[in-house]
Chains A and B, each alone.
Chain A
Amino acid sequence: MPIDVTKFEVLKFTSRLLFIGIGSIIPLCFSPYSVSFIMSLYMYAILAITWNMLAGFTGYVSFGHVVFWGLGAYATAILIIKVGLPWNIAWLLSGVVGCGFAFTVGIPTLRLSGVYFAISMLALSEAVKVAVAYLRGVTGGGGGIYLPPLISLNTAYYLMWAVFATVYLTTCFLSRTSFGKFLLAVREDEIAAQSLGINTAVIRIQIFVLSSFFASLAGGLYVLNVCFIDPKTAFDISLTIKAILMTVLGGLGTLEGPIIGTLLLGGFSELMWARFPFIHKVLLGAAIMAIVALLPRGVVPSLKGLRWWGISSRSTLKGDK
């Protein structure tokens, strides 16, 4: 089937590439503080996009997304310290560990629906936190694991940037494939999708595993950069909530929503953290309530349908005659 390329889509594609490209020159022109701040934004964006893959495209809202990030971090640290692997192999394997875990827990939990899935994922992340603290011999228990500094800030930055670019372009690509359409079908009406011959259980597991792969990679990079991980940081529920909130703020189920939400909320959070170190979490809680109550559809859907530079999303390359 020939793809009907419109002027608007060309513009969208080039601006996407430009937006990603800008990231490559940041370490050349900013201070290490800014670089690590922007790197943390990339990390949040990865978490938000991967959360959106599941929630936005299939309607399965997970309240325990952080568990994959935390497992990725722990897997990387353990593979380096206890197994003695080089950091790059350990990092890539951590993604595989995340996939394996997602596959295992996905089979029972993805059978649940709605609120029950959300709560069981929340309970799962708490249970894994407890289990990691309990398995002292492997994980170092509640005290956490220290790593020697293995990679420079710039290496970590570029890897995080690369993961971000991959995950972003993957969602853009997925939304155009039949797989992406299947996901939307599952979200809109699961029974109708099944009756059309879509194996919804397999579709859900696939996207769940894919989203946790990238989340685990982000966790692995975090620990390589920070050189320390403990159960409290690794399975901190506020990380899940930030990812959710960034997506909801930007627009659930949109491609750019998680990124725009990350920029807005990440910027806001950094500003608050610097100005009001003691009450910034109170403000975060208030911000969550305000966003959910006032902007439940998010920023991106509210912007859709506007004309950008005189080009509406309807006009084609040949001009509309």
Chain B
Amino acid sequence: MVTQFLNVLISGIVIGALYALAAEGLNLIWGVMRIVNMAHGEFLMLGSYVAYYLFIAKHINPFVSLIIAGIVLLASGWITSRFLIRRILDGGEMIGLLFTFGLSIFLINMGILVFGGQFKTIAYLSGTLSWGPVFVSKPKLVAAIVSLLLSIAMYCFLRRTKPGAVIRAVASDREMAEQCGVDANRVFDIAFGLGAALAAMAGVLVSISFPFSPLIGQAFILKCFAVVVLGGLGNFLGALLAGILVGVGESLAAFYINVHMSHAVAFIIIIVTLLVRPSGLLGGRS
């Protein structure tokens, strides 16, 4: 009983760390630009494929690809924001939602055309670690630890460095930041690029621990929403905590109720949080 529970708990925490990393990018873009990026899951998917092709073609270690994918998506996110998102920023939340949804459909179907629709895996790490009756698969554990480290690094970047402070300034009051000489549009481009890079790095970590296809982003996006809502908009530590809670909630539901029901957990979390505590667990905008 207890060991079963422990196993479920650990697998929940491990997947939850990935959700947290993916959701932090969404959170950053949402908090800074007021754009709910529906294409966020597709940035994650692109990250997975960058790692896949680097591994297949050049036998590059996925942990090196982590950096490469981050840089590639940072640049693509910057370009997307500079040339596309900037045009629709004044249109309001709904326009942003619709526009990024179009981007998401575009990227998914481009992905299917270019990469093919079948599932891919990267056979980089395999095997499990065990402490007595408690097991955890090696690639998932590594992915979780790396994503925790990346989350902490991102948190320190936003909290402790000057560019991070500028990003937070624009997030909390755009006009005031502009009064102080910050070019908000440039900050938006950087925030969008960083958000995309976080998603891509989560994607690389997903690629070593799960089979993936161009549709993988859709599986992640609702969970990312749940994490952002539960953690509080703009709250980084909240997202980390919420990611782990969503992961654990899902794996408990999958084990004790039904695998299908685990997909409903994200929805229930979104609704309950919004009704009971709309500012999220730790409150928004820390």
Contacts and interface: CB of A to CB of B under 8 A. Distances in A.
Interface of A: 61, 63, 108-109, 111-112, 114-116, 118-120, 122-124, 126-127, 130-131, 133-134, 238, 241, 244-245, 248, 278-279, 281-282, 284-289, 292-293, 296
A115 B113 contact: no
B222 A123 contact: yes
Instruction: Say which size band chain B's interface belongs to.
Output: 35 or more
A87 to B, nearest CB: 30
Given A130-B261, A241-B101, A289 B275 contact: no
Contacts of A123: 222, 225-226, 266-267, 270-271
6 contacts: A120-B271, A123-B226, A130-B263, A279-B113, A284-B105, A288-B106
A245 B95 CA distance: 11
Nearest to B260: A134
Interface in B82-137: 84, 87-88, 91, 93-95, 97-99, 101-110, 113
Contacts of B270: 119-120, 123
A279 B105 CA distance: 11
B275 A126 contact: no
A281 B105 contact: yes
B229 A116 contact: yes
B102 A287 contact: yes
The A contact surface, by secondary structure, is helix
B93 A282 contact: no
Given A109-B271, A118-B97, 16 more contacts: A116-B229, A119-B36, A119-B270, A124-B271, A130-B261, A134-B258, A245-B98, A248-B98, A279-B109, A281-B105, A284-B105, A285-B108, A288-B98, A288-B105, A292-B95, A293-B88
A248 B92 CA distance: 14
A119 B107 contact: no
Given A288-B99, A292-B95, A122 B275 contact: no
A245 B84 CA distance: 18
A282 B84 contact: no
Contact of B104 (A63, A119, A130, A285): A285
Contacts of B98: 244-245, 248, 288, 292
A16 to B, nearest CB: 28
B91 A289 contact: no
Interface in B249-281: 258, 260-261, 263-264, 266-268, 270-271, 274-275, 278
A63 B267 CA distance: 13
Interface centre among A111, A115, A245, by most chain B C-beta atoms within 10 angstroms, is A115
B264 A130 contact: yes
Contacts of B229: 116, 119
A63 B38 CA distance: 11
A116 B107 contact: no
Contacts of A116: 229, 274, 278
Nearest to B39: A285
Contacts of B108: 281, 285
Contact of A127 (B84, B101, B113, B264): B264
Which of B84, B88, B271 is most buried by chain A, counting CB atoms within 10 A of its CB? B271
Given A124-B267, A126-B222, A293 B84 contact: yes
A130 B105 CA distance: 21
Contact of B102 (A112, A119, A134, A292): A292
A241 B271 CA distance: 21
A131 B265 CA distance: 11
A262 B113 CA distance: 27
B99 A133 contact: no
Nearest to B225: A119
A118 B229 CA distance: 13
A108 B105 contact: no
B45 to A, nearest CB: 14
Most buried by B among A112, A245, A286, A293: A293
Contacts of A130: 260-261, 263-264
Given A134-B260, A285-B106, A108 B275 contact: yes
Contacts of B274: 112, 116, 120
A269 B137 CA distance: 46
B227 to A, nearest CB: 12
A118 B94 CA distance: 9
A282 B109 contact: yes
B33 to A, nearest CB: 13
A133 B225 contact: no
B260 to A, nearest CB: 4
A238 B101 CA distance: 10
B242 to A, nearest CB: 15
A282 B87 contact: no
A20 to B, nearest CB: 29
A109 to B, nearest CB: 7
Nearest to B94: A61
A238 B108 CA distance: 12
